[in-house]
Amino acid sequence: MELTGRTALITGSAKGLGKMTALMLARMGCDIVLNYVTSEQEALHLAADLIQQFGVRATAIQADIAKRDEVARLAADALAWSHNRSIDILINNAGPFIRERRLFADYDEADIITLLNGNLLGVMLLDHHLLPRMRENKWGRIIHFGFGHAGEGRGWPQRAVYASAKTGLVSFTKTLAVEEAASSITVHMVCPGDIRGGNKERTINEVQGEQDEESPSSRPGSGEDVARVIAFLCLPQSDYLTGNIMDVTGGFDPIKTNILPT
């Protein structure tokens, strides 16, 4: 088990892609700190009934990554719970998203602030809280979440705020990767494609043979597709890789698919 003795914090991990990532890292021997906002029962079930069966420790902490004081509390509580008061792996999965297509002029000010805080500022602050111990230990893995083709920095009509936050995070990811390389801390962004609903918690085997007409790869994406990439980037042997923006999309391009209505 390649990650035995390590502790991972995964934001937004009671369900979906965060849950699949937590299970994948637990199988590799990693202790897990789950994070949730409202899904308490799902998080507690995941920690007590699913993750601990792999012989690792797990806990669940409530916090909203879009709120500055709660980010600080999440970091402090996670560090206090870990064996060596260190979070070795940070997976920044949480991030608010408004699925309804909306022109920028039609956003409420509160929605703009929440989207920016949850997808950019909160991520940067959580990194900032946890970096010192990673630096002291001379080891760390940080994963940010984007969207397919975020690294190209193109405009995304009707997703202006979310896209701006995530493309800003692209630059931060690349910058932090260079700054922390000497401390043996790697930083990447993983950019899932259009993996919806129950598919976020399905395995590759479970979606094999199914058809997705919008996907160039024909089959739908699964949570395991994303979790496997993250697990690879967290391996000790992946220390020569850093600063990458990795699309896990099956070739799907969400920006070209989202066309303004006439």
Q: Is residue 162 part of a domain?
A: yes
One-letter identity of residue 171: S
Q: Is residue 111 part of a domain?
A: yes
Domain holding 81: CATH number? Answer: 3.40.50.720
pLDDT tens for 113-167 read 999 999 999 999 999 999 999 999 999 999 999 999 999 988 899 999 999 999 9
Q: What is the pLDDT of residue 75?
A: 98
DSSP string, 183-195: GTEEEEEEEE-S-
Report the alpha-carbon distance of residue 203 to residue 164 in Å, rounded: 31
pLDDT tens for 184-237 read 999 999 999 989 899 999 998 998 887 766 666 678 899 999 999 999 999 999
Number of domains in the chain: 1
- Please report how the helices 16-27 and 223-234 are oriented relative to each other, as an axis angle in degrees rounded to 10: 50
DSSP string, 3-61: TTT-EEEETT-SSHHHHHHHHHHHHTT-EEEEEESS-HHHHHHIIIIIIGGGT--EEEE
Q: Is residue 260 part of a domain?
A: no
CB 245 within 8 A of CB 177: no
Q: Is residue 52 part of a domain?
A: yes
Q: Is residue 199 part of a domain?
A: yes
Q: Is residue 202 part of a domain?
A: yes
Which residues have a Cβ under 8 Å from the Cβ of 208 and sit 6 or more positions away? 219
pLDDT at 262 over 60: no
Q: What angle do CA 117, 121, 122 make, to 5 degrees?
A: 75
CB 85 within 8 A of CB 77: no
Q: Is residue 257 part of a domain?
A: no
pLDDT tens for 8-26 read 999 999 999 999 999 999 9
Q: What is the largest CA-CA distance in the chain?
A: 57
Q: Is residue 256 part of a domain?
A: no
Q: Give the domain extent around 156.
A: 7-249
